[in-house]
Amino acid sequence: MQKGKVIYMKKRMILLGSIMLMMVLLMAGCGSGAGTSDTDQSNNKAASNADKPAFDLSKIDWNVESGIVEGTRVVTFGYTNNTEYEVIDFDLEFKVKGDVTDDQLEQYSELKEKAKNMEHDIGEITFQCMTSKCVAPGESIDGQPCCLDGTIEYYTDFDSYEVFEPDMMTVVLSDGKTLYSAYYDYISGKTTVGEDTLDAYTWSDSALAKAVPKPDVRYLAISYDNEDSLYAKAFGVSRDACGEYIDACKAMGFDQNIDDSDEKYGASGTRYFNADNGNGIKVDVDYYPSDDEMHISVDREDE
């Protein structure tokens, strides 16, 4: 695999990953569009200052180093969760140091090419350490790939790391019942807790939700839920657990027109499964091992 080749990393349109995206949408009151159900909106709660946990994100120890991911040498990161809460989603963003000039930055071909492709000044480039893998208190994670400007390409030139400094850490944490967002500002050295929260587990009572098994997971959020479509994301899910959910879907009648990556290519890495039940409903289940995420989509088929 050649340097700079695009390999798997889901693109994130904001600072954090899937959970934070849903939290931001709910905080803005826009949900997922006109079809978002009251079920989703009701799980967005404003937390008073008295209810907010006293997070201290400075306790999270992180490191950045050169590592190997899928046979390619890339910039990787890891961290140890020294808080008292489980980390569900993590994003550490770096910016260019204030005393680094554009001429210095342009000595690094990867940074120069990325700024050109993103159509912004090279001094505005950022790199991110992002993962949605769940990390319990006292536990660590390492070997996670970094990316530039939040894109789908891995960041490969470790030598250029010296021009960056940490800017903002954005984290979603859980006490097992509730998801909280928190931010650590490396300029002020302070942690700020977000105003809104989400339930750690949300499922629907809609007709489409009743057509498929209720996921047996710790963390589940619904992106949208209406008469014709349901989309949910589960976090902290193993590949085996995803396989068990797929088997449960088959047992509930989703055994027609099956397209299963495991049957085609064997059991490894990313998995996808889709099938219909013969009654006009289709289910899609996708598993992303890099973040331990399972995505579930249930749709009414066009007649």
Tell whether the model's pLDDT for residue 3 goes beyond 60. Answer: no
Tell whether the model's pLDDT for residue 218 goes beyond 60. Answer: yes
Q: How far is CA 246 from CA 242, 258, 270, in A?
A: 6, 11, 14
Average pLDDT of the chain to the nearest whole number = 86
pLDDT digits (tens, 9 = 90+) for 227-250: 999 999 999 999 999 999 999 999
What's the confidence (pLDDT) of residue 5? 31
Query: Other CB atoms closer than 10 Å to residue 113's CB: what's the count?
Result: 14
Q: Using CA atoms, how far apart are residues 91 and 9, in angstroms rounded to an integer?
A: 14
Residue of 19, 294, 295, 67 lying closest to 170 (CA atoms): 19
Q: Render 150-177 in DSSP notation, one character per residue.
A: T-SSBP--GGGGGGEEEEEEEEEEESSS
What's the confidence (pLDDT) of residue 47? 54
What's the confidence (pLDDT) of residue 105? 97
pLDDT digits (tens, 9 = 90+) for 113-159: 999 999 999 999 999 999 999 999 999 999 999 999 988 789 999 99
Q: What is the pTM of this model?
A: 0.82
pLDDT digits (tens, 9 = 90+) for 70-90: 899 999 999 999 999 999 999
**Interval 23-51 mean pLDDT:** 47
What is the band of 290 on the pLDDT scale with cuts at 50, 70, 90? confident
Residue 127 bridge partners (DSSP)? 94, 148
Which H or E run contains 193? strand 190-199
User: Using CB atoms within 10 A of its CB, is residue 84 exposed (0-12), middle (13-18) or buried (19+)?
Assistant: middle
What is the band of 262 on the pLDDT scale with cuts at 50, 70, 90? confident
Q: What percent of the chain has pLDDT over 70?
A: 82
- Domain ranges for the chain, please list them: 18-29+44-196, 207-300
What's the confidence (pLDDT) of residue 138? 97
Higher-confidence residue: 276 or 22?
A: 276
What is the band of 1 on the pLDDT scale with cuts at 50, 70, 90? very low
What's the confidence (pLDDT) of residue 215? 98
pLDDT digits (tens, 9 = 90+) for 165-204: 999 999 999 999 999 999 999 999 999 999 889 999 999 9
